[in-house]
Structure 1
Amino acid sequence: MQKQWKKTFALIFSGQIFSILTSSMVQFAVIWHLTESTGSAAVLMIAGLAAFLPQAVLGPFVGVWLDRWSRKLTMIIADSAIALFSLILGFYFILGEPGLGFVYIILSLRSAASAFHAPAFQAAVPLIAPEEELTRVAGWQQMVFSFSNVMGPALGIAVYSATSLGAVLLLDVAGALIANLMLFLVKIHQPKAQATVSPSFIHEFRLGWSALIQAKPIVLITGATAVFSIAFMPLATLFPYMTLSHFGRGGYSASLVEAVFSIGMILGGLLLSVFSSKWSDISYMSLGLLVIGLTCVISGLIGPNAFVIFAVLSFFMGSAAPFFNGPFMAMIQRSFEPEMLGRVISLVTSIMMLSSPIGLLLAGPVVDEYGVQLWFLGSGIVVMLTALFIFIQFRRLAFRQRTETE
């Protein structure tokens, strides 16, 4: 049994490496193309909105379908849809330069398909791995994601520079095909729906919402994460802009920053998988947020000649990310029954992602007016305050639980 579930994850992750790698290439190449061709932070923020908003809007409702459908088949169909939209945009770039509106539409359609893929995978994890191994698996997942993202920006800028953005997009299709092939080779048992659950969509949605709000620790972290996401999520789009506008560097320097960030995530994921049982999930999460916030603050203060320092800070920022993402997802997976997990994960994801458009709408004008460093500085302060809030609240909750049992 121990070897079987590890073999299943080995097959799944080996396929996901290719899919995430090519998606990372596409993401970086598109952002760099928009950065280089427009030089506008506002354009980047609109692209970010196109990539985030559909997932945030669809998320609360996707979970109901995920708990009804085969999670394996959902992942395959969603990844195929993402590949199809990449294929369409790729041919468009090969034939000629599409307008920004068409690029935004394709980004939105890819985002809508991703709204099904990511929660389906997270909801499938507890159906494969033992409960006590969920944090370790989260560490593995962070390593796979990070490994793919190490090579993604470098390969993306290399293929983009040598050929065109269209060629990068076509490679994304090949990555999706490999990932789907590996999924066909594994078996994932779909949990049976509860006998008391009504077939009504609204009723099932309300059941998922009720289950979520009754888990007070998850609600607390979700709310805090939604607040810091307003400040932090735009940075995913602003990293290349920081390299270009503040440090005056080109595409390869921007890809270097993405690579060292991802190398840090690999190290962080490895450490999390090895030491997953040493500390509590909350301790890991608070430490991860504190390091992320501190590196953002320093990045917002350094001068235009300190690119090497920025790259080092990006490494430590990346290494801290798995210590928040992994334990949080493992907490969610432990807290709910498998037949309810799709709805809960989709709701949590949507709540956090709905805050991202707010940040993106604010970041564009602020960065264009005052510079990208101000956003790094402000986001770092918000993230550190969030870390402190989560740590204090859970210390109070633990103290209250101890006094009630004595």
Structure 2
Amino acid sequence: MHMQWKKTFALIFSGQIFSILTSSMVQFSIIWHLTETTGSAAVLMIAGLAGFLPQALLGPFIGVWLDRWNRKITMMVADSVIAFSSLVLGIYYLWGEPSLWVVYAILLLRSTASAFHAPSFQAAIPLIAPEEQLTRVAGWHQLVFSASSVLGPALAIAVYSATSLGTVLLLDVVGALIANLMLLLVNIHQPKPEIIQTPSFQKEFILGWKAFLSEKSVVTITVAMAVFSVVFMPLAMLFPLMTLSHFGRGGYSASLIEAVFGIGMILGGALLSVLASKWKDSTYMSLSLVVIGLTCLLSGIIESHAFILFVVLSFFMGAAAPLFNGPYMAMIQKSYEPEKLGRVLSFVTSIGLLSSPIGLALAGPIVDRFGVQIWFFWAGIVVILIGTFIKLYFIGKENKHVGQGSI
């Protein structure tokens, strides 16, 4: 039994590696293609909104269905929809250039399917792995995503340059089919849904929201994560601008920063999977945020000739990221019953996604007026404060429990 869950995860993860990698390739290739063919920031903005808004808007509601449905089948259907959308768009590009509205529609469909796939996969993990192994499994998951973030763009541009965008999209079809094949080979226990007690969608939605609010620690971390998303998510678009405008370097240097950040994430995920049981989840999360904050702050004050230092800081920033994401997800998985976990994960995901546009809206005018480094600097200050708050919050909680136990 001890080895069985590891075999199950080996099969699932081997399939997910192909699916996540090819999806990363598609994401990069589409943005690259739209940039090359239109050169329009408005086009890229609409494509970005099409790619994440369905997940943000549908997230709180689809959790109700996820807790009713078979999670393995939900993942397979979602992957199949993503494969179908890639197939349709791939055929369009092999025959010619589709209209932008076709591209937007396909991105909307892919995002909608992803809104079901991601939380159903996370909600399935506690049904397979022992509770004491959830943080380690979260480290594996972060490792897969981090590796894809490094390899995906590199492979995408190689295939795109040698063939076409259509070929990249067809590879995504293959990746989804491999993921589904691996899921067919495993058995995932399905928790009994609470249909008798809560027969209506509205009641289940409210039940999921109340379940989320019942764990004060998770709510506190989620609010902190939302603030973190506001200041940190814009950095994804500001990294290239920092490289070009502050350091005066070109596309090669910008791609180097992306690669170094991704490599840091890989090593951070590997470190988490090895040292998962050494510290408490809250310790990893607070340490992660303090390190990320310090690297952002230093990036905001370094001179224009110190590009190598920026490379080093980007590496440590990437390495620290999984130390928050993995333990945060493991904490959620440990805190809720499996039959409610899908709804809770949907709420959490949507809160993070809905926070990001706020940061993007704020970052644009601030950076245009004061320069890119000002956002790095103050983002670093805010993130350090969040990390410190999380540490102090859990110290206070532990002291309260000790005090109650001595009475």
Deviations 1:128-187 (CA, angstroms, capped at 9, x unpaired): 000111111111111122222221121122223333333322222221111111111111
State the secondary structure of the residue aligned to 1:191. coil
Deviation, structure 1 residue 260: 2.0
Give the distance between the partners of 1:239 and 1:173, measured in 2 at CA: 31
Normalised by the size of structure 1, how large is the TM-score?
A: 0.92
Question: Match for residue 233 of structure 2?
Answer: 233
Distance 1:42 1:298, change over 3 A: farther
Q: Could you report, residue by residue, the CA deviation over 1:190-217 in whole angstroms, capped at 9, with x for unpaired residues?
A: 1112365222111111111111111000
> What is the CA distance between 1:276 and its match in structure 2?
1.2
Shift of the 305–36 alpha-carbon distance from structure 1 to 2, 3 Å rule, reads farther
What is the identity, as a one-letter code, of the residue corresponding to 1:257? I
Alignment of 1:174-193 (within 5 A): 174-193=174-193
Moved more, 206-215 or 41-50: 41-50
CA distance in 1, matches of 2:27, 2:115: 16
Query: What is aligned with 2:308?
Result: 308
Matched, 1:129 2:129: yes
Q: 1:76: which partner in 2?
A: 76
Which position in structure 2 is the counterpart of 1:216?
216
Which amino acid is the alignment partner of residue 198 of structure 2?
Answer: S
Map of 2:261 onto structure 1: 261
Distance 1:96 1:372 in 2: 39
| Offset of residue 15 of structure 1 | 0.8
What secondary structure is seen at the aligned counterpart in 1 of 2:129? coil
Assess if the C-alpha contact under 8 Å between 1:208 and 1:344 holds in 2. yes
Which range moved further: 74-83 or 240-249? 240-249
Q: How many residues align?
A: 406
Asked if 2 retains the 8 angstrom alpha-carbon contact of 1:288 and 1:321, the reply is yes
Moved more, 289-298 or 267-276: 289-298
Q: Which is worse superposed, 12-21 or 99-108?
A: 99-108
Amino acid of the structure 2 residue aligned with 1:15: G
Say if 1:401 and 1:47 are closer, same or farther in 2 by CA, change over 3 A: farther
Alpha-carbon distance between aligned partners in 2 of 1:303 and 1:153, rounded to the nearest angstrom:
29
- 194-203 or 236-245: bigger deviation: 236-245
Give the direction of change, closer, same or farther, for the CA distance of 1:374–1:89 in structure 2 (3 Å limit): farther
CA pair 296-167 structure 1, distance change in 2 beyond 3 A: farther
RMSD: 2.3
1:107 to 1:369, Cα distance in 2 relative to 1, 3 A: farther
* 1:208-357 matches, cutoff 5 A: 208-247=208-247, 249=249, 251-357=251-357
Partner secondary structure for residue 321 of structure 2: helix
1:91-110 equivalences under 5 Å are 91-110=91-110
Per the TM alignment, residue 389 of structure 1 is displaced from its structure 2 partner at its CA by 1.8
Residue 377 of structure 1: aligned partner? 377
* Amino acid of the structure 2 residue aligned with 1:61: F
Q: Distance in 2 between matches of 1:250 and 1:33?
A: 19
Classify the secondary structure of the residue corresponding to 1:2: coil
CA contact (8 A) 1:45 1:364 kept: no
Q: Which moved more, 1:310-319 or 1:244-253?
A: 244-253
Matched, 1:389 2:389: yes
What is the TM-score of this pair, normalised by structure 2? 0.92
Q: In the alignment, is the contact (CA less than 8 A) between 1:153 and 1:255 conserved in 2?
A: no
Contact 1:292/1:321 (8 A) holds in 2:
yes
Query: Equivalents in 2 of 1:40, 1:303: separation in Å?
Result: 31
Larger mean Cα displacement after TM superposition, 47-56 or 95-104: 95-104
**Aligned-partner SS, 1:209:** helix
1:82–1:244 Cα change, 3 Å? farther
Report deviation, 1:244. Answer: 4.8
**Equivalent residue, structure 2, for 1:146:** 146
Q: Mean Cα displacement is larger for which, 372-381 or 213-222?
A: 372-381
Q: 1:195 to 1:47 in 2, by over 3 A?
A: closer
The worse-fitting range, judged by mean Cα deviation, of 207-216 and 50-59 is 50-59
Identity of aligned residues (%): 71
* Farther-moved stretch of structure 1 (198-207 vs 83-92): 83-92
CA contact (8 A) 1:42 1:368 kept: no
- SS of structure 1 residue aligned to 2:3: helix
Asked if structure 2 preserves the Cα contact closer than 8 Å seen for 1:66 and 1:74, the reply is yes
Q: Which amino acid aligns with 1:14?
A: S
Tell me, in whole angstroms, the C-alpha distance in 2 between the residues paired with 1:329 and 1:19. Answer: 21
Select between 92-101 and 120-129 the one with higher mean Cα deviation: 92-101
1:15-30 paired onto structure 2 within 5 Å: 15-30=15-30
Cα shift at 1:220? 0.3
Residue 347 (structure 1) shift: 0.9
Q: Within 1, Cα distance between the matches of 2:96 and 2:389?
A: 50
Q: 2-side partners of 1:280 and 1:219: how far apart?
A: 18
Aligned position for 2:12: 12
Q: Which stretch of the first structure deviates more once superposed, 135-144 or 304-313?
A: 304-313
How far apart, CA to CA, are the structure 1 residues paired with 2:320 and 2:347?
A: 25
Look up the equivalent residue of 2:16 and give its one-letter code: Q
* 1:51 is the counterpart of 2:54: no
Distance change in 2, residues 1:258/1:178 (3 Å): farther
Give the Cα–Cα distance (whole angstroms) in 1 for the partners of residues 244 and 388 of structure 2.
Answer: 33
Q: Which amino acid aligns with 1:18?
A: F
Distance 1:401 1:98 in 2: 61
Asked if the contact 1:269–1:319 (Cα under 8 Å) also holds between the matched residues in 2, the reply is yes
